[in-house]
Amino acid sequence: MDAWVKRRVGAPPGLFAAEAAGLRWLRVPSGTAVVDVLDVTDDAISLARVTPVASTLAAAEAFGESLARTHSAGATAFGAPPDGFTGQCYIADLPLPTDPGPTWGVFFANQRVLHFASLAEAELGTSGIRVMRALADRLLAGDFDDDAPPARLHGDLWAGNVLYGPEGAVLIDPSAHGGHRLTDLAMLSLFGTPHLSGVFKSYEREAPNLPDDWRSLLPLHQVYPLLVHTVLFGGGYASEAVAAARRYI
């Protein structure tokens, strides 16, 4: 099998082990295809090569349906790591908290909003931190909780991590954990992906119990990746994160 090797001497401890665990966990019957893991070491991961092809509306719609089935495979809790994995999880190079939370709001407030806001405190400034704390208060109060169980998330689902091969969409490079399914949809929406409206339309058909106002909640879930980008890249991401959070306080 033709392999593609990502190698990085001095990678954060367990970075590639976490990636491999996430990929294996995301492989579920009838879910979105996942790249095969061939080998893992401390400083490299070997993956089966995906031959890229141009995306089509039909392939994007099939991706939306299969993603809903991946999410429906579930997780043990909001914030939980991939089943059986006890190492450190990551988002990019940043350690990712994966402590199971009792509700989505408690998990998202503590382990996503407040955690990454604290890492981005210098960029957010006093007023930005105040906005994040106000949002966390609403999350902790359960204002955005619903009845959906924890979903099996890719966790870093921007367009670059969805490859289209001859047989359709293939997931790579996850930050896998248990969370709310809208978090994956929000990241697709934030950074764009081919035929996004087709992805969403077919996802809705496969997951008809989405709340009627789910699209209006996407910026809430985008606060997390925007904070991560603030930590990694600074710049205008801080103001974008604050603007997204301010909509919900």
pLDDT tens readout for residues 210-236:
988 999 999 999 999 999 999 999 878
Inform me whether the pLDDT recorded for 26 exceeds 90: yes
Inform me whether the pLDDT recorded for 4 exceeds 70: yes
Q: What is the DSSP letter of 154?
A: -
Task: Dump pLDDT digits (tens) for 67-115.
Answer: 999 999 999 999 999 999 999 999 999 999 999 999 999 999 999 999 9
Rounded-to-5 percentages of helix, strand, coil across the chain: 50, 15, 35
Q: Which of 93, 143, 145, 156 is catalytic?
A: 156
Task: Dump pLDDT digits (tens) for 174-210.
Answer: 999 999 999 999 999 998 999 999 999 999 999 978 9
Catalytic annotation present for 184: no
CB atoms within 10 A of CB 76: 12
Q: Where are the domains of the chain?
A: 51-246
Pairing of strands 151-153, 94-96: unpaired
Q: What is the DSSP letter of 4?
A: E
Dihedral, 128, 132, 138, 139 alpha carbons, nearest 10: 160
What's the predicted TM-score (pTM) here? 0.96
CA distance 35 to 14: 19
Task: Dump pLDDT digits (tens) for 111-157.
Answer: 999 999 999 999 999 999 999 999 999 999 999 999 999 999 999 99
CATH 3.90.1200.10 fits 51-246, yes or no: yes
Of 61, 72, 83, nearest in space to 31 by CA: 72
DSSP characters for 58-112?
HHHHHHHHHHHHHHHT--SSBT--STT--S-EEETTEEE----BSSHHHHHIIII
CA distance 18 to 45: 10
Confidence band for 1, pLDDT divided at 50, 70 and 90: low
CA distance 227 to 139: 16
Cβ within 8 Å of residue 72, ≥6 positions away: 151, 152, 207
